[in-house]
Amino acid sequence: MGKKANRFSALRELRSNRQEQQVAPSKEGQAPVKSKSSSKLKKKVGRPAGRRSDPNYTQISAYIPLELLLSVQDELAHERRVKQTRTARPVSALVEELLDGWLKTQKRKNAGT
């Protein structure tokens, strides 16, 4: 192989062997054909997709006082402890909830005029 042996060399070799097995030998003049086993859907590794990769969400920026943000984060952490959940509700979820409530109020006001 010619590569320096280290703790990852065995993993590198396994990956190389797996890739060689997945690509079937090609006929002369044709591109290699992948084997049927590689066409199966593989489970994605890592975190599940979140709002950042969801096209229905967009990122915005707003300036708020630092003390207000810290107080909000403290309250969300307190809410987490009271409800005994693994993670606190993110600030973005709170902002979404508040903006949605405000929008509903505005629509009611406009419908009454």
- Sorted by sequence, the CB contacts under 8 Å of residue 9 that are 6+ apart come out as 1, 3
Q: What is the pLDDT of residues 65-86, one digit of tens each?
A: 999 999 999 999 999 999 999 8
Which residues sit opposite 33 in a β-bridge? 24
pLDDT digits (tens, 9 = 90+) for 7-37: 677 777 777 777 777 665 555 555 555 555 5
User: How far, in Å, CA of 13 to CA of 20, rounded?
Assistant: 11
Q: What is the pLDDT of residues 41-54, one digit of tens each?
A: 677 788 888 888 88
| Domain residue limits, the chain | 1-35, 59-112
Map tokens 């419908």 to a residue.
111
Give φ, ψ of 85 to 5 degrees. -100, 160
Q: Considering the entire predicted model, what is its pTM? A: 0.55
